[in-house]
Amino acid sequence: MTNAVATLSQFICRTSFDELPEALVVKAKQHLLDTLGAALAGSQAPLTQNALRAMNASEAEGASVIWGADYGLSARNAALINGIAAHALELDDAGGCDHSGAVVVPAMLAVLPLCEPMPDGQELLTAMVLGYDVARRVLEACGGYSPHNEAGWHSTGTCGVFGAAAACARLLKLDEQQTGSALGLAASMSGGLWAFIHDGADSKKLHAGRPAEGGVLAALLAREGFTGPTQVFDDVWGGFLRTLARDTAQPQALTDDLGVVWKLARCSIKPYAACRGTHSAIDAIGQLLNEMQINADHVASIQVNASAFLVDMCAGIDTQTLAAAQMSLPYALAVRCLLGHAGLDAYEEIKRTSPAVKGFMQKIQMQVDESLAPLDEPYVTLVSEDGRSATLQIKTPLGGPLNPIGDGELWAKYSSLANRALPAMQAEHLGELCMNLQHITDLQEMLDLLRPRT
């Protein structure tokens, strides 16, 4: 009987570009563009620069590009740094393993210089789709986002590493046995805890970089004959699911509808620089302000009734660090009311420490609604100074597959972010290349465009 590792390995090695639905290819290109934009802006973030200095202290230059810089590092460390950069500003995609783009894309591009010959655009897109698919399937096999993350695991790190390993295995042309080893080895590089939620620590961003690095290492080790456990997803002592998801495991999710239901299709592109869990409420408060025809000056109070899971995750009011503010739903609503948006500029330090923002946050209360399932969207009630009130629940927040942002909005987001690290014309050229990737035969041009030109 074929087990999950063998089935996934066959899927990774045998799926062709021609098997991918046209709409899925379009979405893959959109998520690639979005991830590169988020990462280029994130490459300039202080925490990314701190990580880069740490790597430079112990390693010479290498062949894999550090995005937004004029030099490279080893494939492993490039994946680490670029993964951190992609997640640094909380603008990377969601809905996969959680943040699949910030894991899979840095890993893929890091191994391109090690591929012989270098793959073309169709092969890169195929590897990307497969990476997203495997990462999400592992999360669903753990019981899904809510059970796995409620247990304290950050699924971007614990599950994303499998997607990175899958994508790298495909690009490096590993055979099915080697690919199975890469998946097995990835399990030993899985990790990431939600402890950062209590003080806004930078470790959250590491949970994109480390699985990207781990996926690269797993695939490279497997290429050289290093073996990984073939029963890693079986119900055995020491197996991944029995160890990390003993009470919630759904192992059939690893292979159900494989090649029929594509997990990238469910992923979201973020319109706001905040935890995806805050986005429905941001949309709701914007709509309520419009419907009631008031602005922040006329808001008496805002009540958010949310699931216990969302309250635990996003009810914090500490905004001292960027990471803490981006996990705070009260902060997101405050800046949406006061500034008219919750974009990256709303999370600058001068805004996070503003007395006006702090004061407005005192008008916002969150409480648990026991009738809501963990991933149900919250109800937002706005009360005006003149005593009027209205309540709204947005079930399909902007950026999700059922309410996608438009092509123009995506391009505007990408440009505003990429232009922080690259000259505008270079960023535009890179973006155009991404959106025509299936026709690109030389990916070296993409790698070159990720280095700023003077």
- 95 and 227, same structural domain? yes
Report residues of the chain scoring pLDDT below 50.
none
253 and 284 belong to one structural domain: no
Q: Which domain holds residue 379?
A: 276-392
> Do 264 and 295 belong together in one domain?
no
At position 35, the amino acid (one-letter code) is T
The answer on 440 and 331 residing in a single domain is no
What is the per-residue pLDDT for 2?
84
DSSP single-letter state for residue 3: -
Annotate 56-92 with DSSP letters as a single string. Answer: HTT----SEE-TTSS-EE-HHHHHHHHHHHHHHTS-S
Would 210 be classed as within a structural domain?
yes
Q: What is the C-alpha to C-alpha distance for residues 270 and 273, in angstroms, rounded to an integer?
A: 7
Note whether 235 and 212 are same-domain residues: yes
Q: Same structural domain for residues 188 and 302?
A: no
* CATH assignment of the domain containing 205: 1.10.4100.10
Q: Residue 325 domain-assigned?
A: yes
> What is the C-alpha to C-alpha distance for residues 258 and 183, in angstroms, rounded to an integer?
16
Name residue, tokens 């009470």: 247
Q: Assess whether 267 and 280 both reside in one domain.
A: no
Q: How far apart are the first and last CA of the chain?
A: 58
Indicate if 265 and 281 belong to the same structural domain. Answer: no
For residue 71, tell me if it sits in a domain. Answer: yes
- Do 196 and 215 belong together in one domain? yes
φ/ψ of 296, rounded to 5, equals -60, -30
CATH number, domain containing residue 383:
3.30.1330.120
**Dist. CA 279–CA 183, nearest whole Å:** 33
Number of domains in the chain: 2
Condensed to tens digits (0 to 9), the pLDDT of residues 309-349 reads: 999 999 999 999 999 999 999 999 999 999 999 999 999 99
Same domain, 264 and 291: no
Asked if 156 and 206 sit in the same domain, the reply is yes
Does residue 107 contact residue 220 with C-beta atoms inside 8 Å? no
**Same domain, yes or no: 203 and 295:** no
